[in-house]
Amino acid sequence: MDEQHATKTTGCVVDEEWVGRVVVVSVSGVVDMLTAPQLEQAIRAALDKKPGGLVVDFAEVEFLASAGMGVLVAVHDEVTPDMRFCVVADGPATSRPLKLVGIADLIELYATRDEALSALSA
Amino acid sequence: MIDSTSRADVADAERFARIGIPADAESASRIREEFAGWLERFFGLDPIRSSDLVLAINEALANAAEFAYVTTDRPGTMDLIAHYDPDSASLTATIADQGVWRMPNPGPPARTRGRGIPLMEALSDRVTIETSTAGTQVRMQWAGVARP
């Protein structure tokens, strides 16, 4: 057992998954100023593959700081109007701060991944 | 420095203090986790309140880590002291650095940045930010903080 790895609890894990032409970038763990660049890189890598839609899934995110919110706004500002982009977030650590600073008014927010996917295929 | 007589690491029922932490992202993240552990241990906060406090503290630490020492040629430090007053059931947190307050750039603000202070305002009951040549001090307060 790698002890150093076991004690590192503040990182994040980012996965990419395709549902048809929609790419889902799902994140678990912590999105703060330390890990936000990792999220941004993963989203850019997904966008490079020219998806029809992008879902950023924060369902497993336990902490979201303004650095992560900045990534969402940057992506929102860059995607072309013909590509749908939405975020999955629900709870005090994610959807609450996104609503408090008005990002929920800018970016579509869904409580579950299923809701996001059906909105994008609609 | 908030109080030069403070011990570097304190976490008891009334006080959480970390003095002279390196002002960087790693430290901000670590101190945030330690502060969250302190809240969990000594207070009976609901998930929303506890999440609000931890994010507000994070944003103050992140601001100090990101901006306080950008114009200085050597890395600086930051301090966090949280104090609980059982009589008024209020919690006060002070985040201080000895750096230089970064004035917002003129012109329209970058949409991807600058949500730290609005978050601190939305997530706490009261925020004051004092800047001087000695550094920046952010003080946030929460009322009605219950013990379990």
Is B4 part of any domain?
no
How far apart (Å, rounded) are the C-alpha atoms in residues A78 and B119?
Answer: 24
Could you tell me the mean pLDDT of each successive run of 10 residues in chain B, 148 residues long? 57 92 95 96 94 98 89 87 95 94 62 85 96 93 88
Does A105 lie at the interface with B, CB-CB under 8 angstroms?
A: no
Is the pLDDT assigned to residue A3 strictly greater than 70? no
Question: Under DSSP, is residue B111 helix (H, G, I), strand (E, B) or coil?
Answer: coil
Strand partners of residue B109: none
Is B3 part of any domain?
no
Is B64 part of any domain?
yes
At B105 the pLDDT is 59
Could you please state the CATH topology (level 3) that the domain comprising A3-121 is classified under: Transcription Regulator spoIIAA (3.30.750)
The ipTM (two decimal places) reads 0.90
Q: Which CATH number is B36's domain given?
A: 3.30.565.10
Does B41 lie at the interface with A, CB-CB under 8 angstroms?
A: no
Quick check: A34 and B26 CB within 8 A? yes
Domain ranges of chain A: 3-121
Is B1 part of any domain?
no
Question: Under DSSP, is residue A3 helix (H, G, I), strand (E, B) or coil?
Answer: helix
Is the pLDDT assigned to residue A29 strictly greater than 50? yes
Is B27 part of any domain?
yes
Counted domains in chain B: 1
Q: What is the pTM of this model?
A: 0.90
Backbone torsions φ then ψ of B124, nearest 5 degrees: -120, 170
Gap from A14 CA to chain B (nearest CA, Å): 18
Torsion-angle region of A102 (φ positive above 0: left; ψ -120 to 50: alpha; else: beta): left
Q: Which domain holds residue B14?
A: 9-142
Burial class (CB in 10 A: 0-12, 13-18, 19+), B115: buried
Tens digits of residue pLDDT in A43-86: 999 999 999 999 999 999 999 999 999 999 999 999 988 899 99
Say which residue the tokens 């992008």 belong to.
Answer: A54
Is B15 part of any domain?
yes
Residues contacting A113, CB < 8 A, separation 6+: A24, A26, A55, A57, A59, A88
